[in-house]
Amino acid sequence: MNTPSRRVHEPLTEAVLTDGFLAGEIVDNPWQHLEALRAVAAVSWNEAVGFWIASHHREVQQASVDPARFCSGQGILTFEIGHQYPAPPTMMHTDPPDHTRYRTLVAPAFRPSAMKALQPRIEAHAQRLYDSFASESVVDLVHELTVPFPLLVICELLGVPADEWEKFYLWSEVSVPGASNHTAEEKLVIQGEMVRYLLGVVAHKKLHPSDDVFSILAAAGLTDFEIAMFAVQLLTAGNETVRNTMTAGLVALAQHPDQWQRLRADRSLIGSAAEEMLRWSSSVIYFMRTAVTDTELGNAHIAAGEHVVLHYASANRDESVFGPTAHQFDIARSPNPHLAFGFGTHYCIGAALARQEIAVVLNEALDRYESIELLGNAQRTRSSIIAGISKAEFALTPFG
């Protein structure tokens, strides 16, 4: 199929997208390129790599809610194109009815009452971390706060020792392509260690169950492969996305001191500020779907078996949805129908927990600091999948 739309969009998509996001120096400032891509078409063809890119909010949303037309089972990352798995590596690689069965299994652990019960522990973790650098005027908040905080919380929720969070951080990083500098061989060794450890924890929970997610998995009659699939995904997704959202959000507040002062003056904006941080950071840059049958999406005629990148970062800056202020950081933005948690069947199961954690971090910062200032530039990872920040130093001005 060689439609005019494919020929028109080749140069721009080849400049913008290589393995799912953006190439080289464009990673640090992708927004002008994504704006240009949206201006060309809602769905564009990348001839060099061979997939479609849905860059508009409407089309990303439409593909997300229709697994009968756009499935996840043939890969969710562009480097998986052409690769066949003997079984799905994560729950994100499944479609209904299997996905529904898996999600139903762990959903009770993330119900509102469970999240409410966890609130005091979440606050306690945040307070201890803030206390640990209270005497410092310059702090790398990535290493001191936004890395350990969600790991401590997810460890408690899963039922693994919180004092081993640094080990879990390493495992989480090597599970995200581009997030660490380890070689492929080193990653395989580390991932093998991770799977063996997590299977061991779940085996222990079979004999000594508790009120945690891994005890749920232990009682579910799953295979070791399914247990590993759940455990790795929950550990990784449970900290990577919220960590980078919090970091990017604090960077944005430092870079927009008017928004920080606005939040200080009106704590009722905490909820909308969290939503804007999610939109602004778009920590999950993209996931991919595969057309199940010949179909259409936006302007594109997509053949069965062709792959479509759902570009959440672009959709979250779509001017047709967020208006002329789409490129502004506005903590009072309303409505704010961002797609930072995905949409449809694969909507993030931990969304409520992530919002809770972000609100706690913001409230603690507002209680303690008159102002926050970013020193230099935040250092970004080179991942094409997660918009990661590896270092961000802040000058913190406490009250009094």
Compute how many other C-beta atoms are within 10 angstroms of the C-beta atom of residue 351: 16
Nearest alpha-carbon partner for 238 in 348, 122, 163: 348
**CB-CB contact of 31 with 55 (8 Å):** no
Q: Please name the amino acid found at residue 206.
A: K
**CB-CB contact of 305 with 279 (8 Å):** no
379 three-state secondary structure = strand
The dihedral region occupied by 319, where left means phi > 0, alpha psi between -120 and 50, and beta the remainder, is alpha
In a structure prediction context, what are the per-residue pLDDT tens digits for the chain, which is 400 residues long? 444 344 334 444 544 554 444 444 555 678 888 898 899 899 998 877 789 999 999 999 999 999 999 999 999 998 899 888 888 889 999 999 999 999 999 999 998 889 999 999 999 999 999 999 999 999 999 999 999 999 999 999 999 999 999 999 999 988 888 788 889 899 999 999 999 999 999 999 999 999 999 999 999 999 999 999 888 898 888 899 999 999 999 999 999 999 999 999 999 999 999 999 999 999 999 999 999 999 999 989 999 999 999 999 999 999 999 999 999 999 999 999 999 999 999 999 999 999 999 999 999 999 999 999 999 999 988 888 899 999 999 999 999 7
Main-chain dihedrals φ then ψ at residue 38, nearest 5 degrees: -65, -35
pLDDT on residue 7:
37
Peptide linkage before 177 cis (omega within 30 of 0): no
Question: Token pair of 161, please?
Answer: 């020792």
d(CA 162, CA 166) in angstroms, rounded, equals 9
d(CA 280, CA 245) in angstroms, rounded, equals 8
Compute how many other C-beta atoms are within 10 angstroms of the C-beta atom of residue 88: 19
pLDDT on residue 299:
85
Compute how many other C-beta atoms are within 10 angstroms of the C-beta atom of residue 118: 18
Task: State how far Cα 71 lies from the chain centre.
Answer: 20
pLDDT on residue 340:
97
Domains of the chain in sequence order: 4-398 (1.10.630.10)
pLDDT on residue 2:
41
pLDDT on residue 384:
83
d(CA 56, CA 299) in angstroms, rounded, equals 11
Task: State how far Cα 305 lies from the chain centre.
Answer: 26
Locate the DSSP E strands across the chain: 43-46, 51-54, 70-71, 138-140, 286-291, 295-297, 300-302, 307-311, 369-380, 389-398
Q: Please name the amino acid found at residue 154.
A: I
Q: How many CA atoms lie within 13 A of 216 on its CB side?
A: 18
pLDDT on residue 180:
83
